[in-house]
Structure 1
């Protein structure tokens, strides 16, 4: 579209949303995203209902971080991926598909047939600890998403949601 003409989706206030590769159960990993050069998200604690972990894996280097919502380091993320990061990778594969996650994280796609193979490919390169500074931003985005769930049902448009993607077809 080099002639200055805009496509239909560029003129609309909505964007196409790719449906999940497979349905996810949100209880264990309520928030997962491929953003800011990382696979990142929020993972529920297996032992404390009031605790969640903010986990991430950097694209290319596979540097990882995992800490609680209070910025306390995960006890299982010493030198290798903890169970929270493994769960995050598994849910990302369900949400986006193994090919897309592998491509985003820059993992050799030959051996990435499922979440376990993807995790094995990343850990075989011996990734080190990553920067946990992004945890606060990821957790804030998660809380912002949760706030929308608390709004009463309405058909009135929300001004702050005008940008939000929709799965409705856009009329030409």
Structure 2
């Protein structure tokens, strides 16, 4: 068993390339979707929760107040395009294409070719029910950033009960 398997921490995969967190502060490949939080270009107080489903490319984009995005009518809005671009920076184009089951027209995946390939299928706008859990995870990540650096255990991160020596 290796050292990391015996530790109480998990490996964090480094981003493929550094990215700026101001536009897309949170991006993840989870729950059969590419999903994340994208900042509004016009209002500092507003963020959008955007997602694209794997395989069907059904997309959703709404504000943190659950109001629909005005640009997501009949195709991917700029928030979803920004989410795809940042996911490629974070995870690499091959991993994003594999997760979304997206084909690239030119054979070599890139953010633009992934977006173009999915757009060519004329994806439908879907339900925004995934927005609440995605936004909640984003807020949880923000809360961890506000904690002071420490090596003391965090109660909510202690998933396993302490073991007792049996006499």
Is TM more than 0.5 here?
Answer: yes
Count matched residues. Answer: 157
Q: CA deviation at 1:113?
A: 2.8
Q: Does the 8 A contact of 1:13 with 1:162 survive in 2?
A: no
Structure 1 unaligned blocks of 5 or more: 1-6, 164-172
Runs of at least 4 residues off by over 4 Å:
none
1:86-132, CA deviations, whole angstroms, 9 ceiling, x for partnerless residues? Answer: 00000000000000000000012553431011100000000001221
Structure 2 unaligned blocks of 5 or more: 160-167
Q: CA deviation at 1:148?
A: 1.0
Q: CA deviation at 1:22?
A: 0.2
The answer as to 2:75 corresponding to 1:68 is no
Q: CA deviation at 1:16?
A: 2.4
Q: Does the 8 A contact of 1:58 with 1:130 survive in 2?
A: no
Match of 1:123 among 119, 125, 128: 119
The answer as to 2:91 corresponding to 1:96 is yes
- Aligned to 1:111, what secondary structure does the other structure show? coil
Match of 2:102 among 73, 90, 107: 107
The answer as to 2:150 corresponding to 1:154 is yes
The answer as to 2:24 corresponding to 1:29 is yes
Q: Does the 8 A contact of 2:49 with 2:131 survive in 1?
A: yes
The one of the two structures with greater contact order (alpha-carbon pairs below 8 A, sep at least 6) is 1
Partners of 1:102 and 1:132 in 2: how far apart? 22
Structure 2 vs 1, CA of residues 144 and 17 (structure 1 numbering), >3 Å: closer, same or farther? same
RMSD of aligned alpha carbons: 1.6
Moved more, 111-120 or 64-73: 111-120
Q: Does the 8 A contact of 1:102 with 1:112 survive in 2?
A: no
TM-score (norm 1): 0.85
The answer as to 2:144 corresponding to 1:142 is no
